[in-house]
Each structure stands twice: as C-alpha cells, then as structure tokens.
Amino acid sequence: METLLGFAIAVMVGLTGVGGGSLTVPILILAFGTPAACAVGTSLLFVTACKLVAGPLYLVRRQVNTRALLFLLAGGVPGVVAGSFILRAVSSRSLEPLVLTLVGSVIAVMALMNLCKHLRNRRGRPVSDRQHRLAWVAFPIGLETGVSSTGAGALGSMALMCLTPLAASEIVGTDLLFGLAVSAVGGSFHAAAGNLDAGLLARLCLGGIPGAALGAWLGGWLPSRQLRAALNLFLALLGGQLFWKGVLGLVR
C-alpha cells in the first residue's frame, strides 16, 4: 500500500513540482496513524529521493533558471534549518494536536491561494522580473518546510510565478531543485533527531523513484497548470481534514 502511495505522489511531484510533503504528511497521519513529527521527517526524505530523480531531467531539458534558484536557496536553506529546530522543540505527544492543526491549516491555505493565483493568471498577464526578492520570500517558505514538510513546492512555485516571468516548465524545474535542497537539509536534521520511520521510507521510495521519473518525463508533454489546479483542490480538502483532526485533539 505504501509503495503504491509513493508511486502516485511521486508522479505528481515529478509532473507539477508540488504536492510532495503536502500530500505525504496528511496521508501518513490520517491513513497510517504515523506521529506528526515522524511523518514530517519521513516525508522530507521521501520528497528528497523523488526530486533527486526528477530534478536532473529538467536540468537536461534546460528548464531550470540558475539565478532564480540561487536566490531561493539563499533564503530557503537557513529557513528550513530554523524550522527543523522549532519542530524538534515542540514535537512531544501532548503538542501533537497543535502540530496537526498547524500543518492542516497551512496545507489548506496554500492550496486555496494557489487556486486563486491560477484563476487570476488564466489570461497570461505579464509578470515583471523581481528575482532579487526571492531570497526574502524563501526564508519563511523554508521555515514552514522544516516545521511541516510542506511549502517548498507550492509556495516556491507561487513565489516564482509572482516574482519572475519564467515559463511554466522553468517554474516547475527551478522549484523542483529548490525543493530538493531544502528537503534534503530538513530531512537530515529530522533524521538526526529520530523523527524517521526507515521501513516506511523504504516502502515509499520503492514506488516513488520510478513514479518521479515517470512524472518528470510526462512533464514535457502534459499541461502542468491544469494538473496543478486539480491537485490544489484535492490538497485543500485534505488539509481541511487534517486541520479538523488537530482541532478535535485540542478540545479534548
């Protein structure tokens, strides 16, 4: 079951650049009963494996903007380190409902914001080049990724859409490599803190590695914008369910 889940999530990651942590964390918590901190750490390393496969394919197709990527990394890497330390400090079982509420609300809000952005940009209005602001925007994105394993894909692509005139394929490729870097850094910190289920990670990667390769290959052919819209609608529902589970745990 976990292998099939890993394959399905990785296809979407390779195809659209988003949905790795946003999908994996709530499904691990809701469907498999994985503790929140462990789900975050396992998800980060799973996403790292998927993007390690998909990212080079976008590099080969020259669909990565190096300058924008460096700006993202300048803010995102310090942010994910800080976020990982924050989760380590509050990851006790008594605080798990609070973590669930935070993660669920962030996933739902991100998905709805991306849907709104998609609807506003349907006419293809030009975007001015403000890449120099990406580093400032990337720090809170990295912070959020370190806390909840979500954000690098969805928020990173949103930042690229808002601040650069890059084509959709370049946004996906640049965002994939940004997500690879912050997931690898954050996952390493979480693994060192013991927030990792190695067996679960292996089963996810068994399906995720071929899924990521397939998704990245399909990314050169299928319309990623429409797929992102559908994915974000699903993420909004999933995030809402996770948020509600956290709220119920807080009021008990």
Reading the block at residue 69, the tokens are 């990527």
| Those residues with Cβ within 8 angstroms of residue 48's Cβ, 6 or more apart along the chain or in another chain | 180, 183, 184, 187
pTM of the full structure: 0.75
Which pLDDT score is estimated for 245?
Answer: 73
Residues in the chain: 252
Question: Could you tell me how far CA 114 lies from the centroid of its own chain?
Answer: 13
Segments forming the whole domain that contains residue 161: 2-251
Which pLDDT score is estimated for 72?
Answer: 94
What residue ranges of the chain have pLDDT lower than 50? none
- Residue 207: which of 62, 3, 59, 70 has the closest Cα? 3
**44-63: b (≥16 Cβ within 10 Å) or e:** bbbbbbbbbbbbbbbeeeeb
Which pLDDT score is estimated for 71?
Answer: 94
Using one digit for the tens of pLDDT, what is the confidence trace for 184-205?
Answer: 998 898 888 888 999 999 999 9
Dihedral, CA of residue 38, residue 39, residue 41 and residue 42, to nearest 10 = 110
Using one digit for the tens of pLDDT, what is the confidence trace for 133-156?
Answer: 899 989 988 887 887 776 677 678
Reading the block at residue 228, the tokens are 């992102």
Which pLDDT score is estimated for 173?
Answer: 85
φ, ψ (nearest 5 deg) of residue 83: -65, -40
The helix or strand, by DSSP H or E, that contains position 174, with its residue range, turns out to be helix 168-192
Q: What is the CA radius of gyration of the chain?
A: 16
Q: d(Cα 168, Cα 5) in Å, to the nearest integer?
A: 26
| 215 neighbors 43 (Cβ within 8 angstroms) | no
Number of domains in the chain: 1
**94-109: b (≥16 Cβ within 10 Å) or e:** ebbbbbbbbbbbbbbe
Which pLDDT score is estimated for 77?
Answer: 93
